Chain A
Amino acid sequence: AQSVTQLDSQVPVFEEAPVELRCNYSSSVSVYLFWYVQYPNQGLQLLLKYLSGSTLVKGINGFEAEFNKSQTSFHLRKPSVHISDTAEYFCAVTNRDDKIIFGKGTRLHILP
Chain B
Amino acid sequence: NAGVTQTPKFRVLKTGQSMTLLCAQDMNHEYMYWYRQDPGMGLRLIHYSVGEGTTAKGEVPDGYNVSRLKKQNFLLGLESAAPSQTSVYFCASSGDRDRPFGELFFGEGSRLTVL
A binds B: yes
A interface with B by C-beta (< 8 Å): 6, 9, 32, 34, 36, 42-46, 49, 51, 90, 92, 94, 96, 98-105
In the assembled complex, how far is the CB of residue B4 from the closest CB belonging to chain A, in whole angstroms?
8
What is the CA–CA distance of A20 and B109 in the complex, to the nearest angstrom? 28
Q: Report the minimal beta-carbon distance from A51 to chain B, rounded to whole angstroms.
A: 6
In the assembled complex, the CB of B62 is this many whole angstroms from the nearest CB of chain A, namely: 16
Please, which residues of chain B bring their CB within 8 A of the CB of A98?
31, 48, 50, 56, 100
B99 nearest CB across to chain A (Å): 9
A to B contact number (C-beta, < 8 Å): 54
Proximity bits, B23-62, A CB within 8 Å = 1, else 0: 0000000010101000011111100101000001011000
Chain A interface, >50% SS class? strand
Q: Are B104 and A46 in contact (CB under 8 A)?
A: yes
Interface contact A49-B103, CB-CB below 8 Å: yes
B90 CB within 8 Å of chain A: yes
Can you offer 14 A-B residue contacts whose CB atoms are under 8 A? A34-B104, A43-B4, A43-B109, A44-B90, A44-B104, A46-B103, A90-B43, A94-B101, A98-B31, A101-B45, A102-B45, A104-B41, A105-B42, A105-B43
Q: CA of A49 to CA of B44 in the docked complex: distance in angstroms?
A: 19
Q: Does B96 contact A (CB under 8 A)?
A: no
